[in-house]
A and B are shown apart, each in its own frame.
Chain A
Amino acid sequence: MSDGEVRLAVPAQPGYLRMTRLLAAGVASRVGFTLDEVDDLRIAIDELCFALVGPGGRDGTITVRYTFIDGGLVVEGEGHFADGGHDTPLLSPLSMQILGAVADECTLEPGIEGPTFRLVKRRREE
């Protein structure tokens, strides 16, 4: 798989998370993920993007970057919020349990314009 990346920027509203899931499925398809893995990736991205935007949405945008790596994908998300999103809550224990099951690596950290996440999902060995 050659290196490359796909980017998406959407308003920081829950209604736009569907776009990030759709693109995730499209990109995962190129990497040869199975349907199980595609669904895992979508669950992970949905969980993390929701952590960024929150139930009521935020004033600003989120960008999501999908990078092809050998045998998988890295997905990086960034909040660009008017207020910097410093009040973004940490992931709940349940969210961490879910992410632990569907992603290979996953972090969520505060950033300058808003929180950022990084997620790695690899193909399962046959």
Chain B
Amino acid sequence: MSAEATDPNGREELRRKFEAYAQTRDQAIRDVLVTAHMGLAEYLARRFTNRGEPLDDLMQVASLGLLKAVDRFDPERGLEFSTYATPTIVGELKRHFRDKGWAVRVPRRVQELHLRLGAVVSQLTQDLGRSPTIPEIAQSATVSEEEVVEAIEAGQAYRFTSLDASGSGEDESSLADQLGNEDQGLIDSEHRVALSPLIARCPPRERMILHLRFFEGLTQSEIANRLGISQMHVSRLLARSLAQLREASTEEDQP
């Protein structure tokens, strides 16, 4: 399944790294361990792709599960890491589906078009040097404008039933480590905290996107470029964060 199972030398090497990490909690070692097992996270994420969620979102969730597993794995107990990590990662993916389903039934062809448009939009943005219009996207993807409208709306079709999705403090530090210092500074803006303590409860990447869009005034394309993800992904993350903030503020208003 993962590299360690087929390569005895690499396996021994990784075992030593796990032991070193358990003792030192050295972030550089953790990075190596996470990278070495990213294949496992991807393998498991792909098993959930027939449920209508984009693979990049699932990869994010699976990576979070992998980080948790690396942090909690005790090499002294003699278990294979993949044996230990699989239920943790699958659990994270299942929780994702439990918390965030498609709010409305999105037909498969629309989901597929939504995923395909991510690449089309990125290419057009690069070619045009600006965000494309819907007619431009339709022409490039050889579908109708109505289909494009329907497909981009599909990315907003998240529903939040639980605040649980905002994650624990533990997830925050794991993800925050992946962000650069400059961006870390941005998301700590006192401006934002004063306006909404709810934003502080969002995961770091969502928090940063909210900050860049609504406080710094960057466009979605600019944020996509800066973070190295697609505009469609930024759009989905924004829609999800806003739904989550709304859910949270509604719950806070309850007596």
A binding-site residues for B, Cβ under 8 Å: 15, 18, 21-22, 25-26, 28-29, 32-39, 42-43, 46-47, 50, 55, 92-94, 97-98, 100-102, 126
Contact = CB atoms under 8 A, between A and B. Distances in A.
A100 B245 CA distance: 17
Q: Is the interface of B mostly helix, strand, loop or mixed?
A: helix
Contacts of B131: 34-37
Q: How large is the interface on B (under 10, 10 to 19, 20 to 34, 35 or more residues)?
A: 35 or more
Most chain B CB neighbours (cut-off 10 Å) among A15, A34, A42: A34
Given A43-B242, A98-B242, A35 B132 contact: yes
Contacts of A21: 153, 156
B245 A94 contact: yes
Given A33-B133, A35-B134, A25 B214 contact: no
Interface of B: 103-104, 121, 130-135, 137, 145-146, 148-150, 152-153, 156-157, 195-196, 198-199, 213-215, 217, 219-221, 231, 235, 238-239, 242, 245-246, 249-250
A22 B195 contact: no
21 contacts: A15-B103, A18-B104, A21-B153, A22-B153, A25-B149, A26-B145, A28-B134, A29-B133, A29-B149, A33-B133, A34-B130, A35-B152, A39-B235, A43-B238, A92-B249, A93-B195, A94-B195, A94-B249, A97-B195, A101-B215, A102-B214
B156 to A, nearest CB: 7
A25 B152 contact: yes
B214 A97 contact: yes
Given A43-B238, A93-B196, 14 more contacts: A15-B103, A21-B156, A22-B153, A25-B149, A25-B153, A26-B149, A28-B134, A29-B133, A35-B137, A36-B221, A36-B231, A92-B196, A94-B195, A101-B214
A73 to B, nearest CB: 14
A45 to B, nearest CB: 11
Contacts of B219: 36
Contacts of B195: 93-94, 97
Nearest to A50: B246
